[in-house]
Chain A
Amino acid sequence: MNKLYEKYIKKESLPNLFCPGCGNGIIQIAAMDAMEKLNCKDDVACVSGIGCSSWIPCYYKLDVIHSMHGRALAFAEGLKLARPDKKILVFTGDGDCMAIGGNHLLHAAQRNIDLTVVMVNNYIYGMTGGQKSPTTPIGAKTKTSPFGCIDEPMNACKLVMSLGASYVARWTTAHPVQLAKAIAEGMDHKGFSFIEVLSQCPVQAGKNVWGEKEPAKIMAKYKEVTYLYKLGSNDPTGAMAEKNAEGKIPIGLFKNDENAQEYLERVEAKLAESGIAR
């Protein structure tokens, strides 16, 4: 058994409910790795919504709210405001975060409130049995798009960047080291940190989106369809993190704005300005 399990996982809850080869387990380990790196286990609480990915924190030996569909960010904001000294790690999925929870995502990003959001993007609604999600690619035949998906998939990273999220990165489950580093950086960062993880759903997306059921082969595909985006001085805002000429998806760090003012900092500054002692 993985050595991190001893410290971070409630072993009595094992085995977890993820399907064989599901990317959620890899993300679970990456987040444990990040917490281990920061040595901050006692200061972390997790919040998640509903969906496969939202089961990730339920196995942690941490305080966890396994909340309602789409509402993880609203719960997390309340928890953060009640305990500003703690780190809140949010696990959510593509449907949870962008479809039903889209409004909460917009406003949490816009407030730049100090949360770390790990959005697991598996391109499908996995738990309900393979229906189209906001990120399902055009043409993909799912249970609710039997003739092929017609909607342009949403780009979560670009969306939150435009609103003022101050740390934005995208990785895949095929990049576990970089992913763990990004989660650690996000938790260390003061402000809204958004990490999108492209993850394999070998059962549902495997069948409907990738035409490939082997988890290892889907992960190999993730390496093929992505290119490493390098945030540099020529593009300080990450605006050029677009699909490249070959149609490949950028992965990497898109934005890391250390100077952006965090929500609670702005609240305290305004109160101090108004002469309200706390």
Chain B
Amino acid sequence: MAAKESKLNEVVLQGNEACAKGALYAGCRFFAGYPITPSTEIIEMMSGEMQKAGGAFIQMEDEIGSACAIIGARWGGSKAMTATSGPGYTLMQEAIGFAAVTETPIVIVNVQRGGPSTGQPTLSSQQDVYQARYGSHGDYEIIVLAPSSVQEMYDFTVRAFELAEQYRTPVILLADEVVGHMREKIVIKDGSKNIKSVKQQYVVSPQADFFKGEFTTVEGQLHDEQGRRIGHIANKSGEFIYNINKKITDNIDGIADITTYCMEDADVAIVAYGSVARPALNAVKHARGVKDDRIAPKFKIVKDLMTRGIQKTIKTDYSHLKVGLVKINSVWPIPEDLLRQATERVDTVIVPEMNVGKYCREVERVLKDKKVIPMSKCGGDIHTPIEILDKILEVTGIEEEVDINE
């Protein structure tokens, strides 16, 4: 059945709210969660909207319970989601591994905050980018999408449900506090998208939903096609592990998603994901002279730290920098081929991240022949476009044109 006729609506929404709206549009009919800053708005919106939409909502006793409940609900036949951040996401790791091994299509939203531990509840980070991929024990592959705008919070949530059903795997929506709490005008669709559970062509152990009379066994131990345990048989278990990993790695083409800006003639590329792609795009526009009201002023004010008075104004001209942006939308599995193609003609790649420099290692591995420069920023503040441009000036060694006014 094709999607119901959809009408386009323009609304101003917060990122977290857009995520909830996207899930409802994607046909999510079960939400279990536990409030945690900065993802709380998702559970708040779901508590009312989900029940109005005829679905079920439950506030569980903890994030462990939330992640488990959505797996249970998905086997009951409801598309299911939960949302959390920071410590809550850590608690969910066990269930994510279970969902990966039982091939349960669920969506988990992680609105990242600063860590480790309780960390920075109210500020942003991208420190969970490895945890999203490697969080649970054992070998498994997972799909992670990173939205960078409110529109993408909506669109990627829908996409997450599609990917989850298609590849029968948990999908993580790796947002962060910046996009979660940002308000923007976005286009949302009316009605509900009918995401079909594909007839399990990629699935290692094809199990029907419950109450279809097929005696489904959802087994957390390694299992055969009928769900019977094979954890004690070495060769069969090995095959199973390879198969659940191959299910994702062999289908990267269907999952990988990047967006490029001005990469056609670029000399330097910025590789960014999530909210950091925003200042990165801004930097590109700035250097390329694209007229945009939101672009930061061309003046950098240098303050004298002793007197706190304005000492001088420096005007930096970035217009000679041929900068392009590669925005990674599907962070995991890493879109290796697309990334290589997009950065074919550049020598230098800058990876700004709100962590100590994690994803840049992956980029470095993929782009072995290029100069990959990490640009880490910790503490909760997002990079500014000027910072990114200054970094490019620094690494390219191109003379900075300074114009001192006074």
Contact = CB atoms under 8 A, between A and B. Distances in A.
Interface of A: 10, 13, 42-43, 45, 47, 50, 58, 60-68, 71, 74-83, 86, 103-104, 106-107, 267, 271, 276, 278
B65 A107 contact: yes
Contacts of B70: 78
B62 A103 contact: yes
A82 B216 contact: no
30 contacts: A45-B211, A47-B72, A63-B217, A65-B71, A65-B218, A67-B218, A67-B220, A68-B94, A68-B98, A71-B64, A71-B65, A71-B68, A74-B64, A74-B66, A74-B72, A77-B58, A77-B60, A77-B69, A78-B69, A78-B71, A78-B72, A78-B74, A78-B80, A80-B72, A82-B30, A82-B73, A82-B76, A107-B60, A267-B51, A276-B51
B261 interface: no
Contacts of A76: 72
B67 to A, nearest CB: 8
Given A104-B65, A107-B60, A79 B75 contact: yes
Interface residues of B, number: 42
A67 B68 contact: yes
B217 A58 contact: yes
Contacts of B213: 42
In the complex, the 6 A-B pairs of residues with the closest C-beta atoms, listed nearest first: A82-B76, A78-B72, A78-B69, A74-B68, A75-B72, A78-B73
A63 B65 contact: no
B380 to A, nearest CB: 31
Given A66-B220, A107-B61, 11 more contacts: A13-B228, A63-B211, A66-B219, A67-B68, A67-B72, A71-B65, A74-B65, A74-B68, A78-B71, A81-B73, A103-B61
B24 interface: no
DSSP class of B's interface residues: helix, strand, loop or mixed? mixed
A74 B69 contact: yes
B140 to A, nearest CB: 15
B183 to A, nearest CB: 27
B212 to A, nearest CB: 8
A47 B73 CA distance: 12
B69 A271 contact: no
A121 B143 CA distance: 40
A81 B30 contact: yes
A67 B213 CA distance: 20
A61 B80 CA distance: 26
B77 interface: yes
Interface string B190-223: 0000000000000000000011011111111100
Contacts of A58: 217, 219, 229
Nearest to B210: A63
Contacts of A271: 51
A64 B211 contact: no
A71 B32 CA distance: 14
B95 interface: yes
Nearest to B94: A68
B54 interface: yes
A107 B34 CA distance: 13
Contacts of B215: 10, 60-64
B110 interface: no
Nearest to B228: A13
B287 interface: no
Contact of B210 (A83, A104, A106): A83
A82 B220 contact: no
A104 B218 contact: no
A13 B227 CA distance: 11
B56 interface: yes
Contacts of B78: 82
Contacts of A86: 76, 210-211
Contacts of B52: 276
A77 B72 CA distance: 7
Given A42-B213, A86-B211, A103-B65, A78 B30 contact: yes
A82 B60 contact: no
A170 B64 CA distance: 29
A74 B60 contact: yes
B56 A82 contact: yes
B231 to A, nearest CB: 11
A41 to B, nearest CB: 10
A82 B211 CA distance: 12
Contacts of B56: 81-82
A103 B95 CA distance: 16
B217 A79 contact: no
Nearest to A76: B72
